[in-house]
Amino acid sequence: MRMSYENLMIREGSMLSIRPALSEDEPFLFQLFEESRKQEFLNTGWPEEQMSSFLHMQFEAQKRSYQLQNPSAAHEIIIYRQNRIGRLITDITDSSIHILDLTLSGKCRNRGFGASLLEGLQQAAVTTGRNVTLHVFETNSAQNLYLRLGFRITRSETPYVRMEWQPHS
């Protein structure tokens, strides 16, 4: 079930917006993926070419996985001052807005953009009577942001933690 994000309330004055991802966004999406995942593989000692090839393979596998497991998910590009700064993938069901992926470029982290987007999703959840759910790596520091915004850990399945935010809780 797709839901329009026209009513996604992004903090006024944040200059943030989202739009559907397009095929021409693929290079940006790979760059974002590479930036967020490369650190995990630096200790392999692989040459740059091998590292890049591996990350391309992982990027394509992730895309296929999202498409197979969540075919109706909305793939969005996060825009700040007319520049692409991240991606948001959500899957909407009758009961929840499930955040599959929220990734910001490194230079845009810890600047309030993630909080603004999450608060917008929470407002959309209130408006539509849904919960907001997500899975995050146990070691991901974004967990602190989710907890601060009222998300609760509902299940821990190494290496992930499932978190949920409920309106009026």
pLDDT digits (tens, 9 = 90+) for 4-54: 444 454 555 567 889 999 999 999 999 999 998 887 777 788 898 998 999
Q: In this structure, are residues 100 and 62 in contact, taking their beta carbons and an 8 Å threshold?
A: no
pLDDT at 11: 52
pLDDT digits (tens, 9 = 90+) for 119-130: 999 999 999 999
pLDDT digits (tens, 9 = 90+) for 47-105: 989 989 999 999 999 999 999 999 999 999 999 989 999 999 999 999 999 999 999 99
pLDDT at 15: 78
Tokens representing residue 64 in the block: 């296929």
Q: In this structure, are residues 127 and 148 in contact, taking their beta carbons and an 8 Å threshold?
A: no
Comparing CA positions, the residue from 95, 93, 55, 97 lying closest to residue 76 is 97
Q: Up-side HSE of residue 74: CA atoms within 13 Å toward CB? A: 20
pLDDT at 13: 53
Residue length of the chain: 169
Name all contacts of 143-146 with Cβ < 8 Å and 24+ positions apart: 145/114, 145/115, 145/118, 146/118
What architecture (CATH level 2) is domain 16-132? Answer: 3-Layer(aba) Sandwich (3.40)
Tokens representing residue 128 in the block: 């539509």
Outline where DSSP puts E strands in the chain: 16-20, 74-80, 83-92, 96-104, 131-137, 152-157, 160-165
Q: What is the residue-wise DSSP string for 61-101?
A: HHHHHHHHH-TT-EEEEEEETTEEEEEEEEEE-SSEEEEEE
The structure's pTM equals: 0.89
Has residue 140 got a pLDDT over 70?
yes
Is residue 70 exposed (0-12), middle (13-18) or buried (19+ Cβ within 10 Å)?
middle
